[in-house]
Amino acid sequence: MREVDDKILEVFATAYADVAREFEVVFATLFPGGEGRLLLTDPEDMLTTGVEVEARPPGKKVKRLSLLSGGERSLTAMALLVAIFRARPSPFYILDEIEAALDDVNLRRLISLMEELRETSQLIVITHQKPTMEVADALYGVSMRGDGITTVVSQRLRGRELSPAS
């Protein structure tokens, strides 16, 4: 048991340090002039500690995430996810309507982060936002024909052509 606990502590401490470092960088990118960090709720007991997210957008003295606007909460959540993605990369990510609560300025900031992520990973993004679609390599959609039959529509925007969807 001691060996297992020691290994868990080692893996968690390393992952936490990596994610916390990346979170500060990503948060500052999404909130220029703001400050975000991760804190352990009980650093003395790493096996039972929790992780708190501290987010201070520029010009705000917010102590709780619930006091942020919907867009600020969305961006803070994305900052945490992107920090995890950077600290522990994966070959692909699936993101569903992540930018629905964002205004144009914040959407552009998020899109710039997504463009960085796609240099090393494949992103599958479900969206209705035109700016997000504009940076895609390919678009897929579902449309209903006049006779009530749905069909999958695909369009390659960059790179080689797609084969017709069935």
Per-residue model confidence as pLDDT tens digits over 6-63: 999 999 999 999 999 999 999 999 999 999 999 999 999 988 999 999 999 998 887 6
Instruction: Give the separation between CA 62 and CA 126, rounded to whole angstroms.
Output: 31
Q: Are residues 101 and 153 in the same domain?
A: no
Q: Are residues 86 and 150 in the same domain?
A: no
Q: Are residues 163 and 109 in the same domain?
A: no
CB 89 within 8 A of CB 121: yes
For the chain, list the strands marked E by DSSP: 35-40, 51-56, 92-96, 122-126, 138-144, 150-156
For residue 160, what pLDDT is reported? 56
Q: Are residues 118 and 144 in the same domain?
A: no
- pLDDT band, very low/low/confident/very high, at 166 (cuts 50, 70, 90): very low
Q: Are residues 130 and 143 in the same domain?
A: no
Q: Are residues 143 and 93 in the same domain?
A: no
For residue 97, what pLDDT is reported? 93
Q: In terms of residue numbers, what domain contains 36?
A: 2-135
Number of domains in the chain: 2
pLDDT digits (tens, 9 = 90+) for 72-96: 999 999 999 999 999 999 999 999 9
Instruction: Give the separation between CA 165 and CA 9, rounded to whole angstroms.
Output: 48
CB 117 within 8 A of CB 85: yes
